[in-house]
């Protein structure tokens, strides 16, 4: 059997936590910051844990963790 390959795009964008959850970048942070409130910009710093539906899809792209 051939080896299962990791999707290169997912490898760059997501990582798994020790408990198996998927961590990714915050949404709505690429452009248009002038329209957003300071509170929203503050709360969107760093990374976030993906919801279970999205995490299930991403885990298929990262078979080796």
Domains and their CATH numbers in the chain: 8-61 (4.10.410.60)
pLDDT tens profile 30-60: 999 999 999 999 999 999 999 999 999 999 9
Smallest CA-to-CA distance from 26 within 6, 10, 48, 8 is with 48
Q: Percent of the chain at pLDDT above 90?
A: 94
**What is the residue-averaged pLDDT of the chain?**
95
- CA of 17: how far to CAs of 29, 30, 35, 39, in Å? 22, 24, 32, 27
DSSP 61: H
Q: What CA–CA distance (Å, rounded) separates 18 from 29? A: 26
SS3 12: helix
């Amino acid at each position: 059997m051939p080896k299962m390959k990791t999707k290169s795009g997912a490898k760059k964008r997501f990582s798994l936590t020790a408990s198996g959850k998927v961590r990714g970048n915050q949404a709505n942070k690429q452009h248009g910051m002038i329209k957003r409130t300071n509170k929203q910009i503050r709360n969107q710093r760093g990374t976030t844990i993906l919801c279970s539906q999205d995490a299930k899809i991403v885990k298929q792209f990262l078979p080796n963790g």
